[in-house]
């Protein structure tokens, strides 16, 4: 239990700092719950400066929840291209359809209802309810966890359910009665700009006189680190197959990783196989045709959350056979200058840029 006087003073100091130091962001100029929701989903795993142009493009393409609900999925994915984690974009569209059908186009304003929307977890729900609807609901993201852990010397990193519970309870206790949306944003802002993971700027921190870790000089011990999982490495070959001035692309299946995105054909290199042998085999198995590999275009290294991929890309020519693609939804021959109209996974983006 945080002593009431300490809590009050801490709230005042943080809000005064936020009024002075907050950064300008387009979503901070509105209290429209739809726009707050879009910004919060885009900001998951993505930095503010990356999100701003995406947010602006999105708002002009889909200014209302209805316009998003009625949008074509490939247009939504195209606008999301480059932000990664495409399930976020698919969930936004599905959730918008639910809001239109079940909530009369109004984003729900209770925790119970808003959390029925796909992609809206407790953090996003807290952000929308406190910022747009001024409700007294906490938020807890990586930044807030770090601040709370340091502020109260909590040996919690949120890795277990019980640790999460303690952090959520603390985030709730620390909330003021008024300006909860600003207070939540102030915590996130402090975590993003001052209370940084490895070098907290305690000298500039409005909470330095209340922060137990700072007073003990052991900020570096909080929060305790989580054991790191090693991400898997995979090697893949992909072919840019040309035929009469056009390039072959295919749309991934509806389920699984990177569902619905477009890609160049290819696949995982088997043990003992060269990248070229892999490509010829994959094209034979998946497209039912023979190709001639002409030259290597590039090697791309890209990290996804679950794995790191090395992609060997080759320019190819169709030798013989009629394409019967079996592992995709549909396929097309497209002019190279039209490739950029299709949503591709992040690792394919460099190939598209080099061909367009």
Count of residues interacting with ligand SF4 (CB under 6 A): 15
Q: Count Cβ atoms below 10 Å from residue 316 Cβ, excluding itself.
A: 27
Among 95, 213, 318, 352, contact with ligand SF4 (rule: CB under 6 A): 213
Residues 109-168 contacting ligand SF4, CB under 6 A: 147, 150-151
Residues 214-273 contacting ligand SF4, CB under 6 A: 214, 219
**Helix, strand, or coil (residue 112):** helix
CA distance 220 to 69: 46
Instruction: Work out whether 348 is an interface residue with ligand SF4 (CB under 6 A).
Output: no
Element (H, E) at 318: strand 307-320
**Among candidate residues 175, 181, 147, the one with its CA nearest the CA of residue 33:** 181
> Are the CB atoms for 143 and 125 separated by under 8 Å?
no
Task: For the CB of residue 143, give the shortest distance to ligand SF4 in the complex, in Å.
Answer: 10
Nearer to ligand SF4, 76 or 151 (CB): 151
Nearer to ligand SF4, 95 or 205 (CB): 205
Task: For the CB of residue 148, give the shortest distance to ligand SF4 in the complex, in Å.
Answer: 9
Provide the 8-state DSSP code for 22.
Answer: P
Within 8 A by CB and 6+ apart from 59, the residues are: 26, 35, 38
- Stretch in the footprint of ligand SF4 (CB under 6 A) among 124-132, 204-212, 285-293, 337-345: 204-212
Among 83, 137, 171, 195, contact with ligand SF4 (rule: CB under 6 A): 195
**Helix, strand, or coil (residue 43):** helix
Any idea how long the chain is? 356
**Helix, strand, or coil (residue 271):** coil
Task: For the CB of residue 159, give the shortest distance to ligand SF4 in the complex, in Å.
Answer: 20
Instruction: Work out whether 200 is an interface residue with ligand SF4 (CB under 6 A).
Output: yes
Bridge partners of residue 247, in order along the sequence:
242, 334
The CA-CA-CA angle for residues 78, 104, 28, to 5°, reads 55
Nearer to ligand SF4, 192 or 323 (CB): 192
Among 35, 144, 207, 280, contact with ligand SF4 (rule: CB under 6 A): 207
CA distance 165 to 223: 15
Place of tokens 């003021």: 176
- Stretch in the footprint of ligand SF4 (CB under 6 A) among 65-73, 205-213, 320-328, 341-349: 205-213
Active site residue 285: no
Among 61, 202, 328, 334, contact with ligand SF4 (rule: CB under 6 A): 202
Among 99, 211, 309, 316, contact with ligand SF4 (rule: CB under 6 A): 211
CA dihedral 332, 338, 341, 343 (to 10 degrees): 50
Task: For the CB of residue 198, give the shortest distance to ligand SF4 in the complex, in Å.
Answer: 11
The CA-CA-CA angle for residues 268, 264, 238, to 5°, reads 40
Among 139, 194, 291, 293, contact with ligand SF4 (rule: CB under 6 A): 194
Task: For the CB of residue 150, give the shortest distance to ligand SF4 in the complex, in Å.
Answer: 4
Nearer to ligand SF4, 205 or 279 (CB): 205
What is the secondary structure of 179-222 as a DSSP string?
-HHHHHHHHHHHHHHTS-SSS--GGG-TTTTT-HHHHHT-GGGS
Nearer to ligand SF4, 209 or 231 (CB): 209
Among 208, 310, 336, 340, contact with ligand SF4 (rule: CB under 6 A): 208
Q: Which of 16, 24, 40, 172 is catalytic?
A: 40
Q: Which residues are catalytic?
A: 40
Positions touching ligand SF4 (CB under 6 A) are 147, 150-151, 194-195, 200-202, 205, 207-208, 211, 213-214, 219
């Amino acid at each position: 239990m945080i002593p009431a006087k300490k809590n009050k003073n801490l709230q005042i100091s943080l809000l005064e700092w936020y009024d002075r130091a907050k950064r300008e962001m387009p979503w901070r100029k509105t209290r429209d719950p739809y726009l707050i929701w879009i910004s919060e989903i885009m900001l998951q795993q993505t930095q503010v400066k990356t999100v701003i142009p995406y947010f602006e493009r999105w708002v002009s393409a889909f200014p209302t929840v209805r316009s998003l609900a009625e949008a074509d999925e490939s247009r939504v994915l195209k606008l999301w291209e480059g932000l990664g984690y495409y399930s976020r974009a698919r969930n936004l569209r599905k959730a918008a359809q639910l809001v239109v059908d079940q909530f009369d186009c109004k984003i729900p304003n209770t925790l119970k209802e808003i959390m029925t929307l796909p992609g809206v977890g407790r953090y996003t729900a807290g952000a929308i309810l406190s910022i747009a609807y001024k409700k007294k609901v906490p938020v807890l993201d990586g930044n807030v966890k770090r601040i709370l852990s340091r502020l109260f010397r909590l040996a919690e990193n949120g890795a277990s359910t019980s640790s999460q519970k303690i952090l959520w309870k603390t985030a709730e206790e620390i909330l003021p009665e008024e300006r909860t949306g600003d207070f939540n944003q102030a915590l996130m802002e402090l975590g993003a700009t001052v209370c940084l993971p490895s070098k907290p700027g305690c000298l500039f921190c409005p909470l330095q006189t209340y922060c137990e870790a700072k007073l003990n000089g052991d900020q570096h011990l909080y929060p305790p680190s989580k054991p790191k999982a090693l991400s898997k490495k995979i090697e893949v070959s992909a072919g840019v197959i040309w035929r009469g001035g056009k390039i072959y692309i295919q749309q991934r299946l509806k389920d699984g990783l990177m569902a619905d995105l477009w890609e160049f054909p290819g696949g995982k290199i088997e043990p003992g196989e060269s990248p070229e042998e892999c490509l010829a085999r994959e094209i034979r198995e998946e497209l039912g045709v023979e190709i001639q590999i002409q030259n290597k275009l590039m090697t791309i290294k890209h990290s996804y959350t679950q794995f790191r991929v090395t992609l060997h890309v080759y320019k190819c020519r169709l030798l013989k056979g009629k394409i019967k693609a079996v592992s995709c939804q549909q396929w097309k021959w497209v002019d190279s200058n039209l490739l950029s109209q299709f949503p591709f996974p992040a690792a394919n983006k460099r190939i598209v840029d080099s061909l367009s």
